[in-house]
Structure 1
Amino acid sequence: MNRFSIVWAGIWRKPLRTALMLVCITNAFLLFGLLQGFSSGLQGAAADAHADILITASRVSMLETLPYSYAQQIRGQAGVRAVSSLVSLEANYQQDTNSINAFAVEPSQIPETTPALRIEKAAMNLFKETRDGAIVSGKLAARYGWHVGDRVPLKSTIWTNHDGTQVWPVRIVGIFAADGSALLEDAILLRYDFLDEGRVEGKGTANVFLTRIADPSQSDSIAQAIDSQFANSGNETKTSSEQVIARDTVKSIGDIGAIANAVVGAVLFALLLSVGAVMTQAVRERRIEIGVLKAIGFSDQLVLGLFLAEALIACVLAAGIGLALSAWVLPSLGQVTKLNVSSNYLTLLWGVMFACILALMAGGPPAIAALRLRVVDALSGR
């Protein structure tokens, strides 16, 4: 029997107890991996947001509408490259539970104000020429099986059509990609003039204006200039860059990194106590076995190493399973949260390091006790 066999047999000497311990460690590192992935996803979303895209909405609420004429006035600001109006339909498809991100936009301006939008030139030209045309993200098209040429009835919960219904039938003329854009990667876009001409109320208004500026470093000053232009009017505005809004959103949630570290720290501390108790009990139960090993020639240091190896193998094995499970779950979590959450080598490295520290701290004292145990005391049961 080699030394690894002795270590492995020692780990599974009490199968039920070992299994429960491994499950606890696995759950702890699964939580660690998920929290670290979610934290990095939030931070990445804020970092990837565009500083050269300004979002102008009503100071009261983004659901309030603003005059469409504001778009032309914003275009007159120095440093502005393009402006696009955006109207939300709050739509659903076929069933009320099938909510869809549907927006009315200006085909000539939306490519300039949304860098993430990628679509074939021919499809965009067709969108500009087709009054009831619409372009849809590949993700949304795949979900409902839509293809170019399909007619799709969108039911808006906000805007009533001139025919008395809330249904807006559009024809898909193109499919676009918008990876990384929380606004567009799961959306359908129709023409602003089609919606505005057909709705019975709210004509000549928009919910939001997207503004592309030439110099991202001037985003704050241009945003202030836009808001000053409409100050003391009946429709005051609030303008912020996409990056600032993303950062403010992350801050409103809280310091995710600190929260994740605090939670993981508390869990690992509790785990340290439980694993330490298990290892201590294992040494007490195996006093005679330890005495026999020393009697047949195993040195004190070798016995110490065997018990530390048991703790290291158990902790690292369970931690690896937990981290692997988190890497498997994170992509699904990303689809739900619309964040680019994923596991990385740094998380794996920290996880393995924590597992080793846990093993040494929990298994160290019992292993030292085994090292100090005298043969005569062990075999006599004292």
Structure 2
Amino acid sequence: MVQACLVCSRVHNSSLSAQAAGADMDKPDKPSPSARKHVHLQERRGSNVSLVLDMSSLGSVEPIQPICTPRDITLKFLRTSSHVLRREELQQHAQSLTQLQEEFLKIPPNFVSPEELEIPGRASKDRYKTILPSMCHCIPLPHICPDPESRVCLRRARSQEEDSYINANYITGYAGRLREYIATQGPMLNTVTDFWEMVWQEEVPLIVMITKLQERKEKCVHYWPEKEGTYGPFTVRVQGLSECVEYVVRDLSIQLEGECRQVKHILFPSWPDQQTPESAKPLLHLVSKVEEALQAAASPGPTVVHCSAGIGRTGCFIATRIGCQQLKDKGEVDILGIVCRLRIDRGGMIQTSEQYQFLHHTLALYASQLPEAGGH
């Protein structure tokens, strides 16, 4: 894990280089009086006398000390924070609502400011002005992070930068699996084609939708067809439909020119915005259904997860699935670490302390259902 401040190290290295340059130049054998005279600025108009700078003072300059910005401090917290809970500890910790609230409030949200995304026309594609896609701040090393950009960019036939913009982030999954998910906002009328282009580009096998279309106001547009629909160059068809009390599953096909792919769409409408469900059981059933769908999927692409803003319910679902995988594999879970990792990839994931508490409650319920060996 790289904790060093990249900007600081670059500044520090530049300082050392400047000092080295100064060391080479600050000890002439015997500077002549005429050489010293050239230090003075010639003010006569038309003078062709060059200005000679005295570099001898650079040797005594103190090295520039690394200065860590608020963003550096935020990223260090998000990269290093951890609170591993064994199964029995999880049951107790899930009941400590005040402690959970305090723990949650210490996590930096890591939101992106509009000034950091200077993309023409971007604002018209954002459902909420303050919920913007993060840009990953990691070192682009092949064995750690081959692509330092966590923001999804549309690539097909894009001539303008604004055409490549979509409010979506790649999300790291369990055990550091890169780009296991894409977290995004609920599509808007003018971004539906962009959404389907992303699904095609990333070879997405599954879309998980955790919102109703309307909750007092629009939360998401109806971006899939009743039977068949055309969205830009893409034709989407509903091949099958199955409904149960907790969710609706649609088998979709998406076609571009002569190629056709299968995509499963799961709608989970019973989770109200910025709140928590009455019971954790339906969410665990959804996680189980997603596991089943991914095992049968033909494509290894990322799972797209969205609610309305793409951070609250979306973050809870992804964190729940990662936490279930941890508990099943290791018999313990690091919920604080999971949430921090999510916020590196997309700011604001897990939107409220109530959602953070519900996440603990859900994983405690899941842990209670595991065999006593706990995966060991």
Structure 1 length as normaliser, TM-score?
A: 0.21
Structure ID, larger Rg = 1
Q: Which has the higher helix share?
A: 1
Quick one: higher RCO (CA 8 Å, sep 6+), 1 or 2?
1
Structure 2 length as normaliser, TM-score?
A: 0.21
